[in-house]
Structure formats: structure tokens, C-alpha cells
């Protein structure tokens, strides 16, 4: 029997999202973490279809959803006011921080794109789709690729933010990535032709990587990781400028450990103990009740870790907790930073406890299956474990009050690529690499053979051209939406203020 993938266009849900209730004082709530027996059983007797047939099935999809359809720009027919969507996305956030979020989004068109995941989710929901779904990142713009350390102390380059993770069309991730490349290139005053080359490089990286992964075994796919000091993408050579940028970024990441962070954000008290150096609103003090609730939440979080890592965590104790403002799109959500010590006051551990809210794409995709759908923190954690080649060994989730959170290490060997400093050629190299890394992430849970069949082989550039055209038109739309936000601030419709550095 031939395989058949159903092509589709996703329709948005008409009803608005329900706002969260009034903010309650955080009180620890115990939740029962799903035992292994609760997970669906797998069938190791059923034989799968050969990858060649799945690739052919993907190729057939081009007849119903031609590559050229992806070049079509955003339809304004029935499109909501972008400012209304931003206002809706503020529901449930801490009201005192919403003006700061607005100010950060107003800084530039790219800052706006970062915070406007809900707007782009609506636009993508009405775009053509092959119908092949993956565990998608949901927010795969270029600043959500970065450097981080492995348990073996290597530094790898990969996706590094998973707040918006869900199950949906692979195209949505790729389109958000190429749109971000176009917008960043505009801010660097790179011309339209060169912007097109940068986007095509990204799509080529995705397409070539997916073609390479299609025939490979699942274990091979899952073991693929990109060591930052040994980047090797099939189809492109790293240029000297990119090599220099990468080397400096890796060196900086290696210096960013718990000890260096302690010196930066901590200070000794008169009793000799360490506490956070407050810097409101970025690092702000909290009351005793909230502090106790966060610590109780961390004790509950330990139950989401494998037993051996829970044992390791048990050798630490919390000495201080603060509220921390993070990112652009996340501003206003509840995020705490905990300082723990183990063997001595030189053995610091920083854990970020971040509120997990419903992903921007939730209104436009099917409800997530268990165990992903019942706890937003678990959704983020499971999504990261599925997509990221090498994960954080202390990644887990918890509940504080009635709100879901996830927990991860903070700043340990983490770094970023300074895209603002990249020229056209270097931006093309990293665009290619990010496309390849996104393909690797999608191939871990999706059908790489079918996606490759739809995209085309290593020499088929029709899909590249279509997405380059789409990214250019979306860059125009994003600029107009950013102007609408700036105007809404000037007209007094939105309040803006606070420390804008993100």
C-alpha cells in the first residue's frame, strides 16, 4: 500500500484565548509525575515502510502543494490588528512588567519579531502546508540558536530555546527562521539581492541536511551534534570571518561558568554568605512566601529528574532566590533565579525557574497528547529533550501555586553568535548552518525521508526560491506591524517603559 501524506492549510481557532485568572500568592502544589507505565507502549513487531517509498510519498505532495505556493505573502483578509494580538498575548503576565515588554519590542523590527510569536503563528496558520508534522520548536528565529556546554565539557551549537515547542508543520519553523534572517539583514542594511542569497543558503542547508538524514538510521540521526569548534556542514565551507567570530564566541562561552556568574551577580554579606546583587527590575527581590514557594517547587522539580541526577541535586542547598526578567517575548512571565551551593561556597549552582505558558501556535494545532498536554513545563522539557542533540542534565519541570514552570541550569558554558557583527558572507554561512541544525532537530521526530522528498534533492532549488520570496514579503509585513506598535505607543494605546536591554 502506498503512503499518502495529506496536504493541508491550518485554520485559526476563532475563539479568543481565555485570560488567566487573578494572580494568586504562590503556594506549592504537589503533582503526580507520570510513571513509566503511563506512557504508550511501543510495537517492535510492526515493520515500517522503506525510506525510499516515504521519500516518494513526500515528493508526490508537490503536485497538490507546489513549492511556488510558499512564495505567496501574508493575506490581510481577516487578519487581526497586530496590536490587538500583542495585547492579547500580555494576558496573564505580570502587569508591572508589560510596559517593559512593549518597550523591548519597540526597539527594532527584529526585536518586534522576537516578541511577536503570536502574530506570526496566526499568519503561518493560514499558509500552505505539506501536512507532514514534527515536534516543532515554534520560535526558531536566529537568536534561538546558540552555544552551550555538554556534560563532557564540549561546546556545541544548537537550538537553545523551547518555550513555544509543540507538534505542527515543519514549514512553520523554517519560515520563522528565514523571516528572522531577512529582518536581521535589513537592519544591517544588506540589500534585497543579498538578503535573498542569505535566505536561500538557509533553506539549502535545511534541504541538504534532510536529504542526508533521510536514509540514515534513527540512532545515527539522534547522535548528530555540531561541536562548535569542528563545524562541518555538507555543502558549504566556513569563511575566515565566520571562523573568527565562532572561535571568540566559543572562548567566551567556556569562560561563562557558575564561578564567573557568581562573581557577576553575587555579593558577600557581612556574615560571609553569598546573596544576589539586586538590580531591579532585571534582578529583583521577592518576599519570604514567594521564596519558600520557589524552594518547594525546586524540591518537587527534583522528582522530574532521573534518580541519579536527583541524588546529585540533593547535595546542594538553596541560599537565595530572586525574580529575573528574561528575553523579549518572555517579559512579564514569572521567572526566578536560585543560587545553590554544594561542597563549599565555591561550588555554586544557578537554576532558572521559568513559567511555562501555552505556546503561540496552540490555537492552530491539535491538542497535544499525554504526557505533553497536561503540564506546560513538561511540554517544554519533553520538547527540548526530543529536539536538542545534547541536553541539560538538570532540565526538569515543576508547579508553583497553580502555575507550571520548567527548570534549567543558568549560563553554564552558554553563549551566543553576535549576528549584528556578521557580514553578508558570514551571515550566509550561519544561515546555512542553522537550516542544517533545524533539519537535524526535525528529523529526530519527523519523517526525514518524506520531508526531503517534498523539499527536493541537493540540486533542486525551487523551494529555496519560494521561501526567499516569502521571507522578503514577510519582512515588509513585520516592518509595518512594528510601525503599528510604535504608533500605538505614541497614541497612548500601549504603555512603554523600563530597562530595554534584553
Q: What DSSP assignment string belongs to 333-386?
A: B-EEEEEEESSSTTSEEEEEEEE----TTGGGSPPPPTTTSS-HHHHHHHHHHH
Q: What gap in Å lies between CA 55 and CA 453, rounded to an integer?
A: 4
Q: Are 333 and 355 in contact (CB under 8 A)?
A: yes
Inter-residue long-range contacts of 286-290, CB under 8 Å, 24+ positions, other chains counted: 286/321, 286/322, 286/323, 286/336, 289/25, 289/26, 290/25, 290/26, 290/321, 290/323
Stated as kind and residue range, the H or E segment containing 320 is strand 317-324
What pLDDT, on the 0 to 100 scale, is given for residue 128?
A: 95
What pLDDT, on the 0 to 100 scale, is given for residue 41?
A: 75
**Per-residue pLDDT tens digits of the chain, which is 502 residues long:** 445 555 444 443 433 333 333 333 333 333 333 444 445 678 888 888 999 999 999 999 999 999 999 999 999 999 999 999 999 999 999 999 999 999 999 999 999 999 999 999 999 999 999 999 999 999 999 999 999 888 788 899 999 999 999 999 999 999 999 999 999 999 999 999 999 999 999 999 999 999 999 999 999 999 888 899 888 899 999 999 999 999 999 999 999 989 899 999 999 988 878 999 999 999 999 999 999 999 999 999 999 999 999 999 999 999 999 999 988 989 999 999 999 999 998 899 999 999 999 999 999 999 988 777 789 999 999 999 999 988 899 999 999 999 999 999 987 788 999 988 888 899 999 999 999 999 999 999 999 999 999 999 777 789 999 999 999 999 999 999 999 999 999 999 999 987 655 4
Residue 30: CB atoms within 10 Å: 9
Helix axes 462-490, 98-106, angle to 10 degrees: 120
Length of the chain: 502
CA 324 from centroid of its chain's CA atoms: 19
DSSP readout, 425-482?
A: HHHHHHHHHHHHHHHHHHHHHS-HHHHHHHH--TT--HHHHHHHHHHHHHHHHHHHHH
Q: What gap in Å lies between CA 427 and CA 441, rounded to an integer?
A: 21
Q: What gap in Å lies between CA 108 and CA 114, rounded to an integer?
A: 10
Closest to 230 measured CA to CA, from 477, 433, 484: 433
Phi, psi of 407, rounded to the nearest 5 degrees: -130, 140
What pTM did the predictor assign? Answer: 0.91
What pLDDT, on the 0 to 100 scale, is given for residue 24?
A: 39
Q: Are 129 and 65 in contact (CB under 8 A)?
A: yes
What pLDDT, on the 0 to 100 scale, is given for residue 30?
A: 37
Q: What gap in Å lies between CA 29 and CA 434, rounded to an integer?
A: 39
Q: Are 137 and 173 in contact (CB under 8 A)?
A: yes
**Grid coordinates of 400:** 508553583
Q: What gap in Å lies between CA 224 and CA 157, rounded to an integer?
A: 11
Closest to 447 measured CA to CA, from 57, 89, 25: 57
What pLDDT, on the 0 to 100 scale, is given for residue 444?
A: 96
What pLDDT, on the 0 to 100 scale, is given for residue 357?
A: 95
Q: Is 165 helix (H, G, I), strand (E, B) or coil?
A: coil
Q: Are 166 and 362 in contact (CB under 8 A)?
A: yes
Q: Are 384 and 391 in contact (CB under 8 A)?
A: yes
- Find out whether the peptide bond into 108 is cis, omega within 30 degrees of 0: no
Give start and end residues of each alpha helix (H) in 116-266.
Answer: 117-125, 170-187, 192-213, 218-222, 240-255, 258-265
Q: Is 109 helix (H, G, I), strand (E, B) or coil?
A: helix
What pLDDT, on the 0 to 100 scale, is given for residue 9?
A: 41
Amino acid at each position: 500500500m502506498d503512503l499518502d501524506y495529506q496536504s493541508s492549510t491550518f485554520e485559526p481557532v476563532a475563539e479568543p484565548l481565555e485570560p488567566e485568572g487573578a494572580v494568586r500568592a504562590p503556594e506549592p502544589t504537589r503533582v503526580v509525575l507520570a510513571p513509566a507505565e503511563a506512557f504508550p507502549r511501543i510495537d517492535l513487531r510492526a515493520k515500517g515502510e522503506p525510506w525510499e517509498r516515504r521519500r516518494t510519498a513526500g515528493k508526490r505532495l508537490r503536485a497538490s502543494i507546489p513549492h511556488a505556493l510558499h512564495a505567496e505573502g501574508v493575506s490581510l483578509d481577516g487578519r487581526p490588528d497586530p496590536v490587538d494580538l500583542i495585547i492579547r498575548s500580555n494576558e496573564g503576565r505580570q502587569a508591572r512588567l508589560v510596559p517593559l515588554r512593549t518597550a523591548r519590542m519597540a526597539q527594532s523590527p527584529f526585536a518586534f519579531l522576537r516578541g511577536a510569536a503570536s502574530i506570526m503563528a496566526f499568519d503561518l496558520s493560514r499558509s500552505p502546508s505539506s501536512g507532514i508534522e514534527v515536534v516543532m520548536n515554534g520560535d526558531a528565529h536566529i537568536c534561538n540558536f546558540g552555544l552551550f556546554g555538554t556534560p563532557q565539557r564540549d561546546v556545541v551549537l544548537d537550538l537553545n530555546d523551547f518555550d513555544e515547542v509543540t507538534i505542527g508543520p515543519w514549514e512553520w519553523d523554517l519560515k520563522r527562521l528565514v523571516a528572522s534572517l531577512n529582518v536581521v539583514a535589513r537592519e544591517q542594511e544588506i540589500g534585497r539581492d543579498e538578503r535573498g542569497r542569505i535566505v536561500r543558503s538557509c533553506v539549502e542547508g535545511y534541504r541538504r541536511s534532510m536529504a542526508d538524514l533521510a536514509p540514515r538510521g534513527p540512532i545515527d540521526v539522534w547522535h548528530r551534534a555540531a561541536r562548535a569548534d569542528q563545524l562541518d556542514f555538507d555543502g558549504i565551507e566556513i569563511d575566515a570571518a565566520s571562523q573568527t567570530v565562532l572561535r571568540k564566541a566559543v572562548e567566551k562561552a567556556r569562560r561563562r561558568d557558575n564561578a564567573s556568574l557568581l562573581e557577576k551577580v553575587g555579593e558577600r554579606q557581612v556574615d560571609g554568605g553569598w546573596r544576589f546583587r539586586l538590580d531591579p527590575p532585571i534582578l529583583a527581590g521577592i518576599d519570604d512566601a514567594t521564596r519558600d514557594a520557589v524552594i518547594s517547587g525546586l524540591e518537587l522539580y527534583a522528582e522530574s529528574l532521573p534518580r541519579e541526577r536527583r541524588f546529585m541535586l540533593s547535595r546542594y542547598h538553596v541560599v537565595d532566590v530572586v525574580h529575573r526578567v528574561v528575553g523579549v517575548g518572555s517579559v512579564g512571565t514569572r521567572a526566578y533565579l536560585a543560587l545553590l551551593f554544594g561542597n563549599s561556597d565555591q561550588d555554586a549552582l544557578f537554576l532558572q525557574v521559568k513559567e511555562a505558558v501555552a505556546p503561540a501556535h496552540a490555537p492552530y494545532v491539535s491538542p497535544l497528547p499525554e504526557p505533553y498536554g497536561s503540564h506546560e513545563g513538561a511540554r517544554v522539557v519533553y520538547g527540548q529533550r526530543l529536539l536538542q542533540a545534547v541536553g541539560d542534565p538538570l532540565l526538569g519541570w515543576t508547579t508553583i501555586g497553580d502555575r507550571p514552570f520548567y527548570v534549567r541550569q543558568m549560563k553554564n558554558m552558554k553563549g551566543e553568535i553576535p549576528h549584528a557583527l556578521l557580514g553578508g558572507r558570514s551571515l550566509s554561512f550561519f544561515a546555512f548552518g542553522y537550516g542544517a541544525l533545524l533539519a537535524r532537530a526535525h528529523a529526530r521526530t519527523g519523517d526525514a525521508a518524506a520531508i526531503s522528498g517534498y523539499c527536493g534533492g541537493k540540486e533542486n532549488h525551487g523551494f529555496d526560491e519560494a521561501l526567499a520570496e516569502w521571507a522578503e514579503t514577510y519582512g515588509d509585513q513585520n516592518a509595518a506591524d512594528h510601525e503599528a506598535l510604535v504608533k500605538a505607543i505614541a497614541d497612548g494605546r500601549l504603555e512603554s517603559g523600563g530597562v530595554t536591554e534584553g
